[in-house]
Amino acid sequence: MSGRLVHVGSAVVDYVYRIDALPAAGTEKTASAYARVAGGGFNMMVAAGRTGMKVVFGGQLGTGPDGDFLRAAFAAEGIETLTPPSPSMDSGNCVAMISGDAERTFVSWPGAESRLTLDMMKPVQVLPGDWVFTSGYTLSYPGSRDALADWIEALPAGIPFVFDPTPVITDIPRPILDRVLARTSWLSCNTNEAAEIAGAGDAQTVAIRLLAEHCLSAEGVVIRAGAHGCLVRMADGGTRAVPGFKVEAVDTNGAGDTHIGAFVSALSRSKSPCEAARYANAAAALSVTRHGGSSAPTDMEILEFLAERGEATTALGRADATAT
């Protein structure tokens, strides 16, 4: 495997509560379980790292109990932090409520990850063969979006840049979003985010518009559809629907992050985009069978999962025909 994943997004601490259903306004629920875990961009980094990619972090961690907690989590996964911690702020956090149907609801509090300047990012040196990733969260913060967009635009031409707009896409000013999309090599988003950028339509139509009107220098786009898998549209015109895998989901938190991390990891090993998408679908499927956002599987676990599903492999070969 060549190069590193240079993650210039954000990481936060998740305070996770498991409940049977969201409480009605003005009422209270007692959680059946609670956990404090590293979250945000950490989940994507874990997915890339557990599938063999060297991962480094170029965002901001804070000074305080949440920042300390994140540094310990990074160290446990072998993720190096390139920037010094914020001297004045702790890292942010997020309350995640996981309901009985495995869906999740979030309330976030931004911290040090929401403040980023070009001076802070000077230690982040991109090397030949590296892959760079960011998410919409860092671009949604007024204190980080301009510096990060400037830094992304200054990336060397040969460095692949992967972007996930995330559910906060509507909080990103359109001029900032357009600048980042223009430098994007691979866009990975869900169906709602894709429509927010390029307008309503079926996945293939939206993917065509994304490449033709928004991601003009991209190699391709991936539109994720949860358990149904994803659609891959290439700049050369090829479109493939890559079906997902049926599993018993217990926690969908972090599934999209796992998909993106595994997809980038597979691409970095010179897998074709459709092979990478199938690999990522399997990684995401495994992740939702486990509790916690950073529940990404290892490369060996993904390969075993795929080997056990020979019928899924055969079905993929039929469904993977290029659309016209």
Q: For the segment 118-127, what is each residue's pLDDT rounded down to a tens digit? A: 999 999 999 9
Is the predicted pLDDT of residue 105 greater than 60, yes or no? Answer: yes
Report the amino acid identity of residue 94: C
3-state secondary structure 101-138: CCCEEEEEECCHHHCCCCCCCCCCCCCCCCEEEEEHHH
- Only one residue has tokens 């994304």, namely 210
Measured between alpha carbons, how far is 218 from 55 in angstroms, rounded to an integer?
A: 23
Q: What is the pLDDT of residues 64-79, one digit of tens each?
A: 999 999 999 999 999 9
Residue 249 pLDDT grade (very low, low, confident, very high; cuts 50, 70, 90)? confident
Determine the average pLDDT of the residues in 228-240. 95
Neighbouring C-beta atoms of residue 60, cutoff 10 Å: 29
| pLDDT at residue 11 greater than cutoff 80 | yes
Predicted confidence (pLDDT) per residue in 119-176, tens digit:
999 999 999 999 999 999 999 999 999 999 999 999 999 999 999 999 999 999 999 9
Closest among 180, 234, 178 to 211, alpha carbons compared: 234
CA 137, CA 183: separation in Å to the nearest integer? 17
Bridge partner list, 233: 221, 239
Non-local CB neighbours of 313 within 8 Å, separated by 6+ positions: 306
Reply yes or no on whether the pLDDT at 319 is more than 70. Answer: no
State the pLDDT at residue 293: 61
How crowded is residue 92: how many other Cβ atoms within 10 Å of its Cβ?
Answer: 25
Nearest-5° Cα angle at 238, 187 to 5: 30
| Residues 276-303 pLDDT 10s | 999 999 999 999 999 876 789 999 999 9
Confidence of residue 2 (pLDDT cuts 50, 70, 90): low
pLDDT in tens, 28-48: 999 999 999 999 999 999 999
Given this model, what pLDDT does residue 316 score?
34
The beta-strand segments (E) located in 20-103 are 33-40, 54-57, 80-81, 93-98
Least confident window among 104-113, 146-155, 178-187, 250-259: 250-259
The Cα 46–Cα 152 span in angstroms is 22
Q: What is the mean pLDDT of residues 213-217?
A: 97
Rounded CA separation 104/22 (Å): 9
According to DSSP, residue 56 is labeled E
pLDDT > 70? residue 312 = no
The answer, yes or no, to whether residue 322 has pLDDT greater than 60, is: no
With a pLDDT cut of 70, the percent of the chain lying above it is 94
